[in-house]
Structure 1
Amino acid sequence: METVLRTTNLNKYFYEPQPFQVLKDINLEVRKGEFLSLVGKSGCGKSTLLYLISTMDTDYEGTLEMNNTLLTGKKQNELARFRNEHIGFVFQFHFLLPEFTVLQNVMIPALKLGRYKPQEVEERAYEKLKILDVHEHATKPASKLSGGQQQRVAIARALINDPSIIMGDEPTGNLDSYNAQVVFDIFRQLTREFGQTIITVTHDPEFAANSDRIVEMSDGRIISSHPALIS
């Protein structure tokens, strides 16, 4: 199966208040259409790794490739364009613009990318909202939705540019058990029906168990990589 992301000997250091190596020789391959969970205790380096592979942090040793493109060493403006085109983000907090409508929030990354005309962007955004079953709220201000609905809108926004990878940082961390299950189901649907690649950092063992593969980290290293029990 096609490899969509590869890291080779990634090392990362923090220098304040004193030098500390937070990632140690990280070698990771992610296949197209895979739903992968990064797990481990707080401070193990999993969130740091997510920010490196998302190109948000470029201060590291080693190499990062995505879609057979070497990203290590690229300039910030090149990386910003690459991120917008190839990576969708879902965070613990949805970061929607409350005064904008649901539809406008979803459209923002696609308007920025400029690949489609505004009318096409609007149509695509509505289609993504339909997949997430929140299309009936398209014209409401984002602030009028429940927390679970807002997170579904955030996932629709992450999908708008048909990214190579969706990266989630504790995407269910701010949700109750019902809405967390809804997000599980959405992510499973996206990988099964649409071949979407998803990489998430999570502390939730149930969430990890719903993924395809669990990569466990400890003290800055990957210590295991294995299929999820119920994948």
Structure 2
Amino acid sequence: MQTPVLEAVKLNKYFHEPQEFHVLNDVSLTVQKGEFISIMGKSGCGKSTLLYLLSTLDTDYEGTITINNTVVSGLNERALARFRNRHIGFVFQFHYLLPEFTVLQNVMMPAIKLGALDTAAIEQQAMEKLQQMQMQDLAGKPAGKLSGGQQQRIAIARALINKPDIIMADEPTGNLDSANTAIIFDIFHEIAQQGNTIITVTHDEDFARRSDRIIQMVDGKITG
């Protein structure tokens, strides 16, 4: 039987201000390698909160999260940061590129931080990811000079640079038009076909419908 790439068991999350609120209620989830999953639900249902727990960015919760056979719940921040940089890539609704740096420099940054390769090898890998996004011709251009769709493709290239097992994306097409949304979906689909796991939070029903599985959330619980 295949071992899940990610397993969450009985996750509970509380917000304590301005008053206590039970935002995630006994959420359990299993994700297999190569799955392309969309998490959907109305605003406030807990879907983005769940993604932040699964991505190890939020550690204040009850329950257990296991990624690649490593129990990440309870790891200290330094160990989590190292694990996150190696195994998880992030794509957010806002790209968080450094506008004054070139496209190539932005893509290289996570690999430089990981420190597993020398600069020449990192640059080569970054160019390969840009070619995958069909953005190699813009490598030397300041990131702040790109369109929104181009910047999001660069953000995906950056998320892929360390060859993570899982790409997590929070509303990755929320600021894009339909043409760029289709491009981003096709990129994610191709990445999943290559064996990476994709977990997205989205409000876009058409985007979600084309993924492998839709997880519906209502009031902090998975309902389907």
Deviates more, 1:9-18 or 1:166-175: 9-18
Corresponding position of 2:220: 220
Is residue 135 of structure 1 aligned with residue 124 of structure 2? no
Is residue 168 of structure 1 aligned with residue 177 of structure 2? no
Corresponding position of 1:145: 146
Give the 3-state SS of the residue equivalent to 2:5 in structure 1: strand
Give the 3-state SS of the residue equivalent to 2:59 in structure 1: coil
What displacement does 1:29 show? 0.4
RMSD over aligned Cα atoms: 0.7
1:198 aligned partner, one-letter code: I
Q: Deviations over 1:82-110 (max 9, x none)?
A: 11111100001111111111000000000
Give unmatched runs, 5+ long, in structure 1.
Answer: 225-231
Give the 3-state SS of the residue equivalent to 2:191 in structure 1: helix
**Cα separation, 2, equivalents of 1:66 and 1:106:** 24
Corresponding position of 2:203: 203
Give the 3-state SS of the residue equivalent to 1:3 in structure 2: coil
**Cα separation, 1, equivalents of 2:162 and 2:3:** 20
Q: What aligned pairs does 1:99-110 form with structure 2 within 5 A after superposition?
A: 99-110=100-111
Give unmatched runs, 5+ long, in structure 2.
Answer: none
Question: Post-superposition, which runs of at least 4 consecutive aligned residues in structure 1 deviate over 6 A?
Answer: none
Give the 3-state SS of the residue equivalent to 1:26 in structure 2: strand
Give the 3-state SS of the residue equivalent to 1:7 in structure 2: strand
Q: What aligned pairs does 1:6-155 form with structure 2 within 5 A after superposition?
A: 6-155=7-156
What displacement does 1:183 show? 0.3
**Cα separation, 2, equivalents of 1:23 and 1:78:** 25
1:212 aligned partner, one-letter code: D
Q: Deviations over 1:155-193 (max 9, x none)?
A: 00000000010000000001011101100111111111x
Corresponding position of 1:185: 186
Give the 3-state SS of the residue equivalent to 2:198 in structure 1: strand
Corresponding position of 2:6: 5
What displacement does 1:142 show? 0.7
What displacement does 1:35 show? 0.3
What displacement does 1:2 show? 3.4
Give the 3-state SS of the residue equivalent to 2:134 in structure 1: coil
What displacement does 1:17 show? 1.2
Q: Deviations over 1:22-58 (max 9, x none)?
A: 0011110000000000000000000000000111111
TM-score for the superposition, normalised by structure 1 = 0.95
What displacement does 1:196 show? 1.1
Q: Indicate the percent of aligned positions where both proteins have the same amino acid.
A: 64
What displacement does 1:145 show? 1.4
What displacement does 1:134 show? 0.3
What displacement does 1:143 show? 1.3
**Cα separation, 2, equivalents of 1:63 and 1:21:** 17
**Cα separation, 2, equivalents of 1:27 and 1:95:** 30
